[in-house]
């Protein structure tokens, strides 16, 4: 997993609450066994028409949001079934930061495990970001995990909170496997002492 320290990126706004994991990555794409390549299926039913062409009205298809890596959404983002494929798809598409008033718990935890930073802000702060995106074409945010602050080029500074353990894992690029491997010597020592794997 790539470490997350700071990120500077174009902001995409998704003005709809309760975006569920079934829409983030539809069920027909869950049969794949790889953890990569899910980005092309992100929001598939919203991004594409029945004939396979782009839906020109959907946010991800709008030219002003091309290359966005910061997603600002409404409350309860990532609700629905607990599929880890949802953060896989968002990360594979290029998103590194998700900002919303609230996230579904399992989705929120899965984001950290997959190298993305989900940030909870108040409804008013999220609305302010929506307004700024509308006012400033090509609007970008700077997100600093060292200082836990969000800034822009127009005088905005927003502090945010993140659990210290999750913060350290992101800063170090440590997923569950990486955390375990930090103790590889002790694990090997234990296995040797107990005849495991012999």
- pLDDT tens sequence across 21-55: 999 999 999 887 777 899 999 999 999 999 999 99
Residue 101: give its domain's CATH number.
3.20.19.10
Task: Kindly state the helix (H) or strand (E) to which residue 58 belongs, with its residue range.
Answer: none
> Across the chain, what does the average pLDDT equal?
91
pLDDT per position as a tens digit, 53-68: 999 999 999 999 999 9
Contact criterion met (CB below 8 Å) for 12 and 28: no
**Tally of structural domains, the chain:** 1
In a domain, 62, yes or no: yes
Q: How confident is the model at residue 125 (pLDDT cuts 50, 70, 90)?
A: very high
From CA 40, how far away is CA 93, in angstroms rounded? 7
Q: What is the pLDDT of residue 194?
A: 63
pLDDT of residue 178: 56
In whole angstroms, what is the distance from residue 122 CA to residue 89 CA? Answer: 26
Name which residue leads in pLDDT, 178 or 78. 78
In a domain, 33, yes or no: yes
The answer to whether position 1 is within a domain reads no
Residue 198 lies in a domain: no
Whole-number CA gyration radius for the chain: 19
Name the band, by pLDDT with cuts 50, 70 and 90, for residue 174.
confident
- Domain with 166 in it: 6-193
Residue 113, C-beta contacts closer than 8 angstroms, at least 6 positions apart: 84, 87, 175, 176
pLDDT band at 2 (very low <50, low <70, confident <90, very high): confident
If you average pLDDT over residues 110-138, what whole number do you get? 97
Q: What is the pTM of this model?
A: 0.88
Phi, psi of 174 (to 5 degrees): -110, 115
């Amino acid at each position: 997993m790539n470490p997350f320290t700071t990120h500077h990126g174009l902001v995409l706004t998704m003005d709809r609450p309760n975006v569920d994991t079934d829409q983030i990555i539809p069920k027909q794409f869950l049969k794949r066994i790889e953890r990569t390549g899910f980005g092309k299926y992100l929001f598939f039913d919203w991004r594409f028409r029945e004939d396979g062409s782009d839906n020109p009205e959907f946010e991800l298809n709008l030219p002003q949001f091309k290359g966005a890596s910061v997603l600002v959404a409404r409350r309860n983002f990532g609700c629905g079934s607990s599929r880890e494929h949802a953060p896989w798809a968002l990360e594979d598409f290029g998103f590194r930061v998700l900002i919303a008033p609230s996230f579904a718990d399992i989705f929120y935890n899965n984001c950290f495990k997959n190298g993305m930073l989900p940030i909870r802000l108040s409804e008013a702060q999220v609305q302010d970001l929506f307004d700024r995106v509308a006012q400033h074409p090509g609007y970008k945010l700077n997100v600093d995990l060292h200082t836990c602050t969000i800034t822009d080029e127009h005088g905005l500074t927003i502090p945010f909170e993140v659990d210290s353990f999750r913060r350290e894992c992101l800063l170090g690029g440590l997923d569950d496997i990486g955390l375990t491997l930090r103790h590889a010597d002790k694990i090997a020592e234990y296995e040797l002492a107990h005849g495991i794997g012999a």
